[in-house]
Amino acid sequence: MMSEYHVPVLLQKSIDGLVVDKDGCYVDVTFGGGGHSRLILEGLSLKGRLISFDQDEEAKQNLINDERFDFVDSNFRFLKNFLKVMNVKPVDGILADLGVSSHQFDVPERGFSIRFEGPLDMRMSQGLDVTAAHVVNTYSEKALSDVLFQYGEVKSSRRLAQEIISNRNSVSIKTTQDLIDVVKVSFGQKLAASELPKIFQALRIEVNQELQALKDLLKQSLEVLKTGGRLVVISYHSLEDRLVKNFMRSGNFDGKAEKDFYGNLIRPIQPIYTKAIVPSAEEVLRNPRSRSAKLRIAEKL
């Protein structure tokens, strides 16, 4: 089931960077198809424990039958609360694979892909109230333009926002194809091809509040990780990676680490490697969706 649902990215390298104690307790906050979770369990002793989170109901079809494994049906932004209830703080490592799963992209009804026509949804959790259709049909011109520019770095975001509002005044934009048609009118066929992935990314981030959830996770990681514990994050676009890189370098999102009187860095966490780990050419060939992935690993001090 896992291979059909999602092909894990940077699988072995991420687990090698995560598991520092075979008897330890680890958290996979993005369970998905269970690929990373399964490999974590393979590396743990009988004393080890794994807790996996996922807010997508469909991820439950991949649950693992192992007494060392627990599943939490929730967004990872509530990590600290659930671990407190489960009485498992502190933990030895946290893994986050921030990408949209292959399954989510390949199911037209989820509305994530520009390749298939489906409802303009894009919710990671079916329990969320706001959909991409809600964003494009109700946001003001400024709010819509800001979403497109800040989360997708979309060219001429204001012009596109104006075009969307002009169209929705006549008929609601309900499907992915409805939105694609509007984008083609605004940008032209050729430019639309390069801008559409950015537009879909921007709407998805807004619908799921992805960047705020990531910030919540990173801040909470310092509270639930033990000293020497590992934080492992795989990101897929520059907005995510910038937050992760800055946080791992300094413990904040600006990337400005404090220094003591002698000029030594004062930080609660430090990166294991100075540069991000990226997929090999062979992995990209096997799984083209991995091409934008960046893996960063840090250790709590």
For each of the domains in the chain, give its residue range(s) and CATH number, in order of start. 2-102+210-300 (3.40.50.150), 109-208 (1.10.150.170)
**The predicted structure's pLDDT at residue 4:** 54
Give the pLDDT score at 105: 77
Nearest by Cα to 177 from 228, 117, 257, 102: 117
pLDDT over threshold 70, residue 2 = no
Residues 6+ apart with CB under 8 A from 93: 18, 19, 20, 24, 26, 27, 225, 229, 230, 231, 232
pLDDT tens string 106-115: 788 898 889 9
Q: Is the pLDDT of residue 103 over 90?
A: no
Of 71-75, 101-105, 133-137, 168-172, least confident by mean pLDDT is 101-105
pLDDT one-digit tens code per residue, 218-251: 999 999 999 999 999 999 999 999 999 999 999 9
Compute the average pLDDT of residues 208-227.
Answer: 98
Residue 269's CB is within 10 A of a number of other CB atoms, namely: 20
Judge contact between 174 and 133, C-beta under 8 A: yes
Q: What pLDDT is stored for residue 100 in this prediction?
A: 84
Residues 10, 11, 14, 17: is their CA dihedral positive or negative? negative
Element (H, E) at 82: helix 79-86
Report yes or no on whether pTM surpasses 0.85: yes
Q: Is 132 helix (H, G, I), strand (E, B) or coil?
A: helix
